[in-house]
Structure 1
């Protein structure tokens, strides 16, 4: 018998083509959705990474906040106070209180002579810490030398504040940005001078609070200059609380990324309280931090 070979009918071909087309379309849609999800996830990772980088720089600056104290001058004032308390109204001082083994008794004219005056009066440097709920300015040791043998100090003046800025992206518009100000020149006004760089865009919240001795709770302001109160004048805080929120709008949708961090100051270098305040002369001031 002869066998008849049959091929696909038109209906079978149409069904096969329809199935293959459907599978191809579904595969293309799945790949497209996966690419969009990857781009979306990568944008989120980039946003969080930029936020962490900005906070890491601010954290490092606060960790290494530099509070300069002239220990030599403090010791000199302490010795003067001790000698004044030990002398009596007749101009005599007890035995053994004069350095160099001079016995006590009537003070000679040589001892009343004033030390030789400097041709140029000494001006003590000052490193202040000025912060409120929305900005912070201080001196930090976070000053790396990027070029070999460059003449520069180990500390700089820095400041952080929230202000308007224009986005570098095309069609990005303007938003609130976290700015970092830095100056190699440390002067009496720690809130001005230097160059500014925008660290973060689309910042909707930047809040700061401070904790230190003399404060029962977190404070919204901290000033070590003449405008500070009794608890903050001449004293650095022990820790700073940072609250940061970045709000990004894309395709009519808004996404928020928030972080909160408590940053300690490694070496506040504040004057000793308690024993010194009560006149305990056996407690000496601490030395200034090393510049490594």
Structure 2
């Protein structure tokens, strides 16, 4: 009696191979899509991180904006503005304390300051730290100057500037785009808008908008200057906060991807004449960064 042979028939083998091939193809496609999604997500994270890093540096510079005030000069101006009777009382007090001068006169505060000025070997030049801000550029002096090398001779403040200009793209395909540039100079002079070295912080920037808020302004202002070109409410006075709006438009394979971010940055110590030491309390009343929009 013949035994029946056990095993798969040709049809069964073909069906099994077809099923395994289909599962393999679907698995490969799923893995490929997952890898593409991961790369795309990582690119988005990198783009947002670069934007946050650039704005974090700008935020830190604005937080530590340095406004120098010559207190000796301000006291001298206050003395000159005093009424005549107060100046006469001071002269009498000085006469009682120090006695008359050899010529029979009295040594006033103005005479003392003039003599001190004459005794100086080098004539004094008053330093100035101006704030020059427009709708798309910003120049000022900041205390954000870290010492990277021990015992290096450097000041605690530097001159910085931010502007939007053309630059060559470092991404694949090359080309050019608008970049956010940061200028820094260790030398603080009368013209705060020039000098120093520049570095590109952010590529593919389509919007870099600045607005300013401070005492004397009822709404956000598109410009703020503390030099001679400023108006009565800004001349010699730093703003209290700066609104920054940045948009990056990155094009990949013909597709455009936009990222926008907006933040309001307070100045920790504007050091304006009418504010004094209480200006430090302004930092807690302003919101910080808004999440990026896509």
Query: Which among 236, 239, 254 is matched to residue 238 of structure 2?
Result: 236
TM-score, scaled relative to structure 2: 0.86
- Unaligned residue ranges in structure 2 (runs of 5+): 281-294
Higher fraction of helix: 2
Please state whether the residue corresponding to 1:4 is helix, strand or coil: coil
Q: How far apart, in 2, do the equivalents of 1:81 and 1:105 lie?
A: 24
Q: How much does 1:154 deviate?
A: 0.2
Q: Does 1:109 align with 2:105?
A: yes
Stretch moving more, 152-161 or 5-14:
5-14
Match of 1:278 in 2: none
Match of 1:171 in 2: 173
Q: Does 1:135 align with 2:130?
A: no
Q: How far apart, in 2, do the equivalents of 1:215 and 1:175 lie?
A: 35
Please state whether the residue corresponding to 2:59 is helix, strand or coil: helix
Q: How does 1:1-292 map to 2 (within 5 A)?
A: 3-82=3-82, 84=84, 86-87=86-87, 93-94=88-89, 98-99=93-94, 101-102=96-97, 108-111=104-107, 114-116=114-116, 117=118, 118-272=120-274
Question: Higher relative contact order by CA 8 Å / sep ≥ 6: 1 or 2?
Answer: 1
Distance 1:9 1:149, change over 3 A: same
Judge conservation of contact 1:71–1:286 (CA < 8 Å) in 2.
no
Please state whether the residue corresponding to 1:146 is helix, strand or coil: coil
Q: How far apart, in 1, do the equivalents of 2:210 and 2:136 lie?
A: 6
Q: How large is the RMSD of aligned CA atoms in angstroms?
A: 2.6
- Unaligned residue ranges in structure 1 (runs of 5+): 88-92, 274-284
* Residue-by-residue CA offset, 1:121-177 (whole Å, 9 max, x unaligned): 100100000000000000000000001110000000000000000012342311100
Q: How much does 1:100 deviate?
A: 7.5
TM-score, scaled relative to structure 1: 0.86
Q: How much does 1:4 deviate?
A: 1.5
